[in-house]
């Protein structure tokens, strides 16, 4: 009975003490500083993580648009016929939307005396989905828009495509070269480190020799692709490597997660400092309420309930700061994302504005972590109140 | 409701820098249920210390205290808090009210701590405030009340749970003579009306003489009061 009574008393007293913090100028200033610090920390965390997530989402979207969902790399000894059979078998699976035979290797594109190292990707059938925004996806040679624009190349013009694999001739090793007309262009990604050139599989196989075939599988759903990948094992010969979009970008995705975690830790320091301000604020409040703590003790408030009063007071202050900070952070993030107010000069980055992507999970982590740290600080300060002997507190 | 107090061989000393000050040196006290006892003595004689020990706010270095059959010195902090809440009503010299609560809420506080429903605590608190003539001041905060009014509120608060023991430490020490008499009158009336055992520490011999029994704390021991010259 006393326990439940003392809990409600703790909350009642904590709420009154929260109101009374306005009376004393020093306490009022410290209280404002602590709550405002927590609010600032929460708002900064929400904004920083939303901005980072916005950039990362855009980057991932950009990367994933240029990455096959699943790539089956067949052993180099696998011939075209066998590769085509495997592709057919994969296409038969109900989850698979499309499967395409491709081959990849390094090479160069030359036109009018200019040369550029490129990645050659030979494809069968339609231009693969990893070459976005092509106006027409029929078989042919496709260049990235960036390269085409830089060199002033138009569809119909002929370029030379050379492979790094030489052919032995009576005059020594000679590069393998094909003269091919440009069929179309696709949108270059600003994240592409090397230009990619798509060309018909037959031409690419001729240029690259027995580099090995790959089957690129599309399901239309990234998560479904992750589930499907292990099931493909039974359809392929030994020595085949099956990689999903996640494995193909493992290093990058890890770096992005790491970047977000480090950003969280760095900005969370604001919350840590604000929590220290909260500890000093509560310590000052406890010192100013010393005699009242003694009276409450004399009336029968046990040490646990006394500690709860000041922990709850800290919790209420933290709650206030977190609520204000959360509202400001969320409001600003949504406003800045919607209005695209912060612009980036076009051409510098793969976006021309700073995106803000607020994830509920991130917000929940920020709020829980902030309240937890503030409560730990408050609990630490509140121990002083619980440790105060009523007789000591009452002594003038 | 009332309880008996049995305290024997109470010793208590404090450290004052390098020096140890023996405040109580084997004080014995025996109070019958329902008795009103005043303790007088010069400043620093250990009156407040005695009250703190009897009120389970502090523990003696040696000796035993039994209040209503409960050995007070052996209680842990949580048990001591519960014991204070249920058994003892305190009145202090400086009308120690909680500044952020109005008069009614201050009186209700021990009931809230005991887990009483708000309605029950409120009804009882209003009855008590009416008994001391403060029914129309119930929504005033301590800083809006006079010293005498604050002490009357403190008295109501001490009696809310109808504790069997009332301990008052210089309850009139900070009041003007008129208010002091009024508060003391009330205390006697309430003590008689509620049948509470009461122990009052006071400097005021005139008021002390109105109590059922008068004890003097001298040299760390309690003895029957010898005369007005012994009080400070």
pLDDT digits (tens, 9 = 90+) for A359-385: 999 999 999 999 999 999 999 999 988
Of B55, B77, B94, the CB nearest to A302: B77
Residue B231's pLDDT band, with cuts at 50, 70 and 90, is very low
In this prediction the ipTM stands at 0.88
Distance of CA A270 to the CA centre of its chain: 22
Bridge partners of A151, per DSSP, are: none
Subunit contact A295:B112, Cβ cutoff 8 A: no
Give the residue among A115, A123, A130 at the shortest CA–CA distance from A203: A123
**Chain A environment of B81 (Cβ under 8 Å):** 297, 300-303, 305
Q: How, if at all, do strands B36-40 and B62-67 pair?
A: unpaired
Q: Give the helix, strand, coil percentages of chain B, each rounded to 5.
A: 40, 25, 35
To the nearest 10 degrees (0 to 180), the angle between helices A360-387 and A303-339 is 150
Of B77, B84, B113, the CB nearest to A6: B113
CA distance B177 to chain A (A): 23
Q: Give A197's contacts (C-beta < 8 A, 6+ positions apart).
A: A107, A109, A118, A119, A120, A121, A141, A142, A143, A144, A161
Q: Distance (Å, rounded) from C-alpha B148 to C-alpha B180?
A: 7
HSE-up of B100 (CA within 13 Å, CB side)?
A: 18
Subunit contact B113:A299, Cβ cutoff 8 A: yes
**Chain B environment of A5 (Cβ under 8 Å):** 112-116
Minimum CA–CA partner of B96 in chain A: A295
Subunit contact B57:A303, Cβ cutoff 8 A: no
How many Cβ pairs closer than 8 A exist between chain A and B? 90
Residue A32, classified by CB atoms within 10 Å of its CB into exposed (0-12), middle (13-18) or buried (19+), is middle
Bridge partners of B222, per DSSP, are: B217
CA distance A300 to chain B (A): 4
Give the residue among A7, A14, A8, A12 at the shortest CA–CA distance from A385: A14
CA distance A322 to chain B (A): 25
Residue B44, classified by CB atoms within 10 Å of its CB into exposed (0-12), middle (13-18) or buried (19+), is exposed
Helices then strands, each counted (H, E), chain B: 7, 10
Subunit contact B90:A298, Cβ cutoff 8 A: yes
Which value, in Å, is the radius of gyration of the alpha carbons in chain A?
Answer: 32
CA distance A269 to chain B (A): 35
The DSSP line for A230-280 is GGGGGGS-TT-EEEEHHHHTHHHHHHHHHHHHHHHHHHHHHHHHHHHHHHH
Subunit contact B157:A2, Cβ cutoff 8 A: no
| pTM reported for the whole predicted model | 0.76
Of A17, A298, A391, the CB nearest to B100: A17
Phi and psi based region of residue A180 (left: phi greater than 0; alpha: psi -120 to 50; beta: remaining): beta
- pLDDT tens track of chain A, all 396 residues? 334 455 788 999 999 998 888 778 888 888 898 999 999 999 999 999 999 999 998 888 888 878 889 999 999 888 888 999 999 999 999 989 889 999 988 999 999 889 999 999 999 888 888 888 887 888 899 999 889 988 999 999 999 999 888 888 888 888 889 999 999 999 877 666 678 899 999 889 888 876 689 999 988 888 999 999 998 988 888 889 999 999 999 998 999 999 999 999 999 999 999 999 999 999 999 988 888 999 999 999 999 999 999 999 999 999 999 999 999 999 999 999 999 999 988 767 778 899 999 999 999 999 999 999 999 999 999 998 888 888 888 776
User: What are the sequence ranges of the domains in chain A?
Assistant: 7-62+252-395, 70-245
DSSP strands (E only) in chain B:
5-16, 19-31, 36-40, 62-67, 70-71, 88-91, 165-169, 197-201, 213-218, 221-224
Residues 121-180 of B with CB under 8 A from A: 157
CA distance A3 to chain B (A): 8
DSSP class of residue A358 equals: -
Identify whether the C-beta of residue B149 lies closer than 8 Å to the C-beta of residue B137: yes
Q: Distance (Å, rounded) from C-alpha B105 to C-alpha B96?
A: 14
The DSSP line for A43-100 is HHHHHHHHHHHHHHHHHHHHHHTTS-SEEEE--TT--HHHHHHHHHHHHHSTT-SEEE
Subunit contact B81:A300, Cβ cutoff 8 A: yes
Identify whether the C-beta of residue A90 lies closer than 8 Å to the C-beta of residue A231: no
């Amino acid at each position: 009975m006393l326990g439940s009574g003392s809990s409600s008393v703790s909350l009642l007293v904590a709420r009154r003490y929260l109101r009374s913090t306005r009376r004393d100028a020093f306490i009022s200033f410290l209280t404002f500083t602590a709550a405002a610090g927590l609010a600032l920390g929460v708002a900064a965390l929400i904004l920083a993580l939303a901005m980072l997530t916005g950039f990362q989402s855009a980057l991932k979207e950009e990367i994933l648009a240029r990455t096959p969902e699943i790539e089956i790399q067949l052993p180099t000894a696998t011939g075209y016929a066998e590769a085509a059979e495997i592709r057919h078998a994969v296409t038969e699976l109900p989850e698979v939307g499309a499967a395409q035979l491709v081959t990849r290797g390094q090479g160069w594109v030359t036109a009018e005396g200019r040369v550029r190292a490129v990645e050659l990707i030979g494809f069968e059938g339609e231009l693969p989905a990893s070459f976005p925004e092509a106006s027409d996806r029929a078989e042919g040679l496709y260049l990235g828009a960036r390269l085409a624009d830089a060199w002033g190349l138009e569809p119909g013009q002929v370029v030379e495509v050379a492979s790094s694999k030489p052919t032995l001739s009576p005059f020594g090793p000679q590069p393998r070269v094909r003269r091919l007309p440009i069929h179309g262009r696709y949108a270059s990604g600003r994240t592409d480190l090397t230009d990619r050139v798509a060309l018909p599989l037959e031409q690419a196989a001729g240029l690259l020799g027995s580099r090995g075939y790959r089957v690129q599988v599309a399901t239309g759903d990234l998560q479904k692709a992750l589930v499907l990948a292990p099931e493909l094992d039974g359809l392929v010969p030994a020595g085949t490597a099956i990689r999903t979009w996640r494995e193909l970008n493992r290093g990058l995705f890890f770096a992005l997660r790491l970047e977000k975690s480090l950003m969280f830790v760095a900005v969370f320091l604001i919350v840590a400092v604000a929590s220290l301000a909260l500890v000093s604020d509560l310590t000052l409040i406890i010192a100013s309420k010393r005699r009242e703590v003694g009276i409450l003790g004399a009336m029968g408030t046990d040490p646990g309930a006394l500690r709860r009063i000041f922990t709850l007071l800290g919790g209420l202050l933290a709650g206030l700061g977190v609520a204000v900070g959360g509202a400001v952070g969320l409001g600003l993030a949504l406003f800045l994302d919607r209005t695209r107010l912060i612009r980036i000069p076009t051409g510098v980055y793969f976006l021309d504005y700073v995106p803000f992507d607020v994830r509920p999970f991130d917000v929940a982590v920020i709020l829980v972590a902030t309240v937890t740290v503030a409560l730990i600080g408050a609990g630490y300060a509140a121990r002083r109140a619980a440790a105060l002997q009523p007789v000591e507190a009452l002594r003038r | 409701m009332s309880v008996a107090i049995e305290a024997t061989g109470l010793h208590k000393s404090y450290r004052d820098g390098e020096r140890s000050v023996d405040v109580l040196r084997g004080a014995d006290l025996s109070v019958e249920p329902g008795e009103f006892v005043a303790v007088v003595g010069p400043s620093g004689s250990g009156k407040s210390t005695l009250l703190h020990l009897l009120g389970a706010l502090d523990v003696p270095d040696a000796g035993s205290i039994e209040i209503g059959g409960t050995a007070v010195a052996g209680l842990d902090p949580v048990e001591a808090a519960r014991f204070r809440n249920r058994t003892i009503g305190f009145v202090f010299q400086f009308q120690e009210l909680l500044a952020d609560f109005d008069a009614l809420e201050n009186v209700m506080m021990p009931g809230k701590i005991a887990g009483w429903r708000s309605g029950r605590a409120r009804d009882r608190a209003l009855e008590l405030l009416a008994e001391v003539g403060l029914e129309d001041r119930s929504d005033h905060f301590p800083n809006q009340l006079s010293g005498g009014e604050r002490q009357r509120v403190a008295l109501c608060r001490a009696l809310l749970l109808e504790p069997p023991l009332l301990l008052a430490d210089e309850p009139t020490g900070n009041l003007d003579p008129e208010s002091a008499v009024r508060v003391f009158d009330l205390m006697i009336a309430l003590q008689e009306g509620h049948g509470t055992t009461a122990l009052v520490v006071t400097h005021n011999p005139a008021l002390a003489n109105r109590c059922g029994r008068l004890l003097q704390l001298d040299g760390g021991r309690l003895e029957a009061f010898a005369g007005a010259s012994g009080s400070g």
